[in-house]
Amino acid sequence: MHGASYPHEPARLDAKSKFQLAKRLTFITKTSRPRPVEHRILTGPEPLPT
């Protein structure tokens, strides 16, 4: 489960990685000045590349 990709479950993997990245970015914005790029990533509808 360490960065492994599961092609048979793209939706779940995408949602999980998006959630993890969002959590990390939320922590970053809480401990530093929020930047427009981070805000756009958190609220954007487009899937995040892993």
pTM of the model: 0.30
Res 1 pLDDT > 70: no
Query: Which of the pair, 50 or 23, is modelled with greater confidence?
Result: 23
Domain layout of the chain by residue ranges: 11-43
The reported pLDDT for the residue numbered 16 is: 80
pLDDT of residue 25: 72
Q: What is the pLDDT of residues 2-30, one digit of tens each?
A: 555 555 555 666 778 888 877 877 776 66
Return the amino acid letter for 14.
D
- Residue 5 has a pLDDT of 57
